Amino acid sequence: MKKLFLVVLIIAIAMIGITSAAVISQPIGGESGFYDITSSPSGAAVTVDSTPIGNTPTTATVYVTGTPGHTIAVNLAGYQPWSQYYSGNPAAGQHIAVHASLVPIVQTGNIYVNSNPAGASAILDNGYDQLTTPGTFNAVSTGWHNVQVSKSGYQLYSTSIEVKPGATSNVYATLVPNAQYGSISATSVPVGASLYVDTIYQGYTNQIVGNLAVGTHTVTMKKSGYKDFSQTATVYNAQTTSVSVTLSPVSSPTTGDLDVSSTPSGASVYLNGDYQGETRSSGPLYITSLVPGTYTTVLKKSGYQDYTTTAKIVAGTTAQVAAVLQPASAKPTTASAEIYSQPSGADIYINNAYKGVTPLSLENVPIDATKTYTIELRMEGYKSYTDSGSISPGQTVVINAALTPLPQQTTKSPLSLIPIVAALSIIGLLSVVLIKKR
């Protein structure tokens, strides 16, 4: 009988412990307030005053007459620990919202970039970092990244490469001379589709992409709610090839889309750690054909705190991420630039140093406020565009250059000389006849 009593007592004590897990400071008979605790991403473990109460989203019950002041901690594998102290107690019946925006624990690796010929400009994630080959991008977050290698007079090289923790990934770019140039005029209905030529992001339709090597290129257009469009186009020397399409709405969709924008624009966008592109002031970044599920989106921009959120993708719908970036707490020492041209594909020089081709965002650029910076855009067949001035740390310089074509040089065709030669020949023949008659 005593053994049975002890077993019942132990079970009762255990049940009291379980019941009290979600109730903090509980004098008997007290009125209750509540902490409604959520996190992004969800599913994180929550403790209140070191007492586990479950995973987010969850609610902690607090007696108003209990000991005031509580520490709420939220933890999730792969993310930095989060905690916050809340003084006092909620009032009777009051619900206090607690949200933890969890920051991923960033693991890094390196990317070594070399080219033939050397001395080319290597751009990481469309300008988040830049170097002259050969060189190494250090402390790059794990996941997939884009590397573009360019040199004036050569075709632009672009590739995606995966970075693994503690490892160095290698990019070797053999650049192809660009002896002849042409362009592609890309238009779509509706307008404003994301435009890619040979997987290189060019901005939005409608526009002309210039400085393309003669030959075959792949043109891709993407817009949320529409089927991705892709076709090849042949570029001819000194000519513009037109690609025009009416985009087809998605029917019976099995995937969803994500539109990402930011204030300010020019932020690099990463989805589950993989680089996707950058935000633009003229429209969102369209990320299409995503398998339904929850995705972690991170936006990075020089001089601003990283922005992290989650988005739930549902088949046949478009999720939205509109990030308002907060300035970094430390005083900035770098600046950024967003450089566009019409047509695109112009070579970019800053203080006569080659940096890449338009369109391009340059982030984390060291700035000396006492110096004057000159930006020049050059393209075969167009007048050079220049702009200069001082730049302050933390400033974003935006340049939209409409390039002016050079006057066409008119040269007389050899065919145009035929009438003159013929007339002179006739005159010479008549002269011979007249001399013989004499």
Sketch the domain layout of the chain as residue ranges. 2-101, 108-174, 250-330, 334-402
Question: Which tokens sit at 240?
Answer: 């513009």
Question: Which tokens sit at 261?
Answer: 């924008």
Q: Which SS3 state, helix, strand or coil, does residue 134 take?
A: coil
Burial of 227-256, coded b for 16+ CB within 10 Å and e otherwise, reads: bbbeeebebeeeeebebebebeebeebeeb
| Tens-digit pLDDT string for the chain (438 aa) | 555 555 445 555 444 444 334 555 444 446 899 999 999 888 899 999 999 999 999 999 999 988 999 999 999 887 889 999 999 999 999 999 999 988 877 789 999 999 999 999 999 998 989 999 999 999 999 999 999 999 999 999 999 999 998 899 999 999 999 888 899 999 999 999 999 999 888 989 999 999 999 999 999 999 999 999 999 999 999 999 999 999 999 988 999 999 999 999 989 999 998 999 999 888 899 999 999 999 999 999 888 889 999 899 999 999 999 999 998 878 888 898 999 999 999 999 999 999 999 999 898 888 888 999 999 999 988 999 999 999 988 888 999 999 999 887 655 545 444 554 454 455 454 454 444 444
Residue 411 has a pLDDT of 52
Question: What are phi and psi for residue 20, nearest 5 degrees?
Answer: -80, 0
Q: How far is CA 16 from the centre of its chain?
A: 52
CATH code of the domain occupying 250-330 = 2.60.40.10
Q: Which SS3 state, helix, strand or coil, does residue 313 take?
A: strand
Residue 55 has a pLDDT of 93
50 phi-psi bin (left φ>0, alpha ψ -120 to 50, beta other):
left
- Of residues 111, 195, 160, the one with CA closest to residue 274: 160
Residue 218 has a pLDDT of 96
- Of residues 155, 172, 148, the one with CA closest to residue 216: 155
Residue length of the chain: 438
Q: In Å, how far are 219, 246, 256, 261 from 225, measured between CA atoms? A: 19, 13, 8, 17
Decide if 248 contacts 381 (C-beta within 8 A): no
Residue 244 has a pLDDT of 96
List all residues 6 or more positions away from 81 whose beta carbon is below 8 Å from its beta carbon: 73, 74, 75
Decide if 211 contacts 346 (C-beta within 8 A): yes
Residue labelled with tokens 């009438």 = 419
Residue 29 has a pLDDT of 47
Tell me the CATH class for 334-402: mainly beta
Q: What is the dihedral of CA 139, 143, 144, 146, to 10 degrees?
A: -20
Decide if 98 contacts 84 (C-beta within 8 A): yes
Fold of 2-101: Immunoglobulin-like (2.60.40)
CA distance 103 to 124: 22
Vertex 14: Cα angle to 12 and 18 (nearest 5): 115
Q: What is the pTM of this model?
A: 0.70
Question: What are phi and psi for residue 124, nearest 5 degrees?
Answer: -100, 125
Q: What is the dihedral of CA 244, 250, 254, 255, to 10 degrees?
A: 60
The CATH superfamily label for domain 108-174 reads: Immunoglobulins (2.60.40.10)
Residue 2 has a pLDDT of 53
Q: Which residues is 233 bridged to in the sheet?
A: 217
Question: What are phi and psi for residue 21, nearest 5 degrees?
Answer: -60, -35
Neighbouring C-alpha atoms within 13 Å toward the C-beta of 369: 7
Question: Which tokens sit at 45?
Answer: 């473990």
Q: Which SS3 state, helix, strand or coil, does residue 387 take?
A: strand
Residue 179 has a pLDDT of 82
Question: Which tokens sit at 13?
Answer: 């004590």
192 C-beta neighbours (distance < 10 Å), count = 16
Burial of 47-76, coded b for 16+ CB within 10 Å and e otherwise, reads: bbeeeebebbebebbbbbebeeebebbbbb
CA distance 429 to 398: 69
